[in-house]
Each structure stands twice: as structure tokens, then as C-alpha cells.
Amino acid sequence: MTGFIPFSRDQAFLLPPDAKDWLPADDVAHFVVAAVDRVPLGAFAVRPIPGGKAQYHPRLLLALLVYAYANGVFSSRRIERATYRDLGVRYVAANLHPDHDTIATFRRANRTAFEVVFLQVLLLARESGLLRLGMVAIDGTKLDADASKIRSVRYDRAKELRARLAADIAALTARAEAADAEAYPDPQALPAEIARREALKAKLDAACARLEEQARTRGRGGPARVRGQACRLRGEEGAPARPPAQAARGRSATRAPVQSHRP
């Protein structure tokens, strides 16, 4: 008999979770957070809000954007959703959930400063020995730190690297702007009419009833044999339904054997 580990999605945390425990020690999120903590913020503008409402710290939004863009997530709506479902993003966001308008507004108001900081993070990554930060490739060629006679060569190579990385960052920012300008709905979001748990349950119950009715109208035999199987999981709570093949074996095992009447 197979045993199952009990679980409940309604179980609350008994103690406040430590976000660092969510990720392995070698996750790039740790580097992004540590690097952003080391860059200056003097060039960033913070939009005043009437009434003195608390705002998200620029370092938090910076780390969130750098980590998201480096991992190919550009839409502000997708980033907002990732603060709930992606462990790396959730750690970088310190278990907070900036909405998509806040994320997009911060980027647009600080685009130049953001790109400068992103470049600094990539240069820190390179100096730390990283050849890649997420999907962003970094030139790992070591520059000779000795011999002043080739200092001009070193300077030219460093200048070329900065220019290439700056172009890559500008392209990532442009992709983020284009993603926010699209009118497509969030593919990970449920329609509003079933977003609430009670409404979703009612919709699924109604869908199951329609499928069972369609199976009944097809009559006996053929596909009608499996009527109700697709929705059986809504039966006894906590008790998994028997798979169709297993149920069929159980029925055949309990049938009385057929007696032969041959003379």
C-alpha cells in the first residue's frame, strides 16, 4: 500500500521564514543583492507621494530589476507576479511585492541611472570572476595588471568592454519598455471572474457537471465508460480517486468465475 506525505496549502508558517533559506548558497541572486548594496544611489530620483506614503527603497527596486532582466523577465507585470512565485525574485524583493506600475515608473524615471548601475554590477561580476550573470554574457578575458608599457592597450580593451556591456544593457531596457507597452494580458493570470478561490471551485464544479452530462448523452460503451473519471477527484476530500485501470482490475477480481457447461 502506498503512503503519501500529508500536505496542506493552508498551513501557516509557525515562525517567520528566513528568505536566505529558500535558495542554494550559489544562486546568483545572492551576488546581485550584495553588488547592488555597493553602488552609489545619488543619481536616482525618488518620486514624492502626497501624504508621505512610504515608498520602496531604490536599492530593492534596483536589485529586483537587475535580477529580473538578467534572467530574461522584462514585463513589469511578470516581475510583479514573480515576487509571489519565483523564489529567487522573492528573495531579492525581500518578500515584498511592488506592483507593476511602481516597477515601470521607477525604471522610466531613472533609466539612465539604472543602466549605469547595471553596468557597475556587471563589472563587479567580471572582477569577481563571473563570466555570465543570468543570460548576460560578460567578457572573462583577464587584463594584465602589470607593466605600464601596455597600459594604453588595457585601457582600450576595458573601454571596449564597457561600451559592449552598456549596449547590451540598453537593449535589455528597451525590451522591458516594449514588454510594458504590449497590451497582452498576463499569461499566468486567471480571468477576473474565477480569480477568487470560491469562484474557481464553482467554475470547476460546473465544468465537471457539463463533462459528465456530455458523457451520459453519448450512451453506453466507448468513451462513455470513463464518464465521471475526469472529475472524480472532487469527491472524498483527502482520498485520491482510484485510477481507471486499477478500478477495472478491482472489479474483475471480484466477479464470480464463469462455470463451464460443456459436456
In this prediction, residue 98 carries a pLDDT of 93
CA distance to 75, 89, 133, 134, 253, per residue, from 44 (Å): 21, 22, 23, 24, 74
Q: What secondary structure, in 3-state letters, does 121-145 show?
A: HHHHHHHCCCCEECCEECCCCCCCC
- The pLDDT tens digits along the chain (263 residues) read 566 656 566 777 766 677 778 788 888 999 999 999 998 888 887 766 666 678 889 999 999 999 999 999 999 999 999 999 999 999 999 989 999 999 999 999 999 999 999 999 998 988 888 888 888 888 754 444 444 445 544 567 778 888 888 899 999 999 999 988 876 666 666 666 666 767 778 878 888 888 888 888 876 555 444 444 556 544 444 444 444 455 445 554 445 454 544 44
Residues 237, 34: Cα–Cα separation, whole Å:
46
- The answer to whether 134 and 181 are in contact (CB under 8 A) is no
- The answer to whether 59 and 41 are in contact (CB under 8 A) is yes
Residues 75, 107: Cα–Cα separation, whole Å:
12
DSSP state of 51: T
192 by DSSP, 3-state: which? helix
Output b/e per residue, 200-232; b: 16+ Cβ within 10 A.
eeeeeeeebeeeeeebeeeeeeeeeeebebebb
- The answer to whether 29 and 92 are in contact (CB under 8 A) is yes
185 Cβ partners below 8 Å, 6+ apart?
none
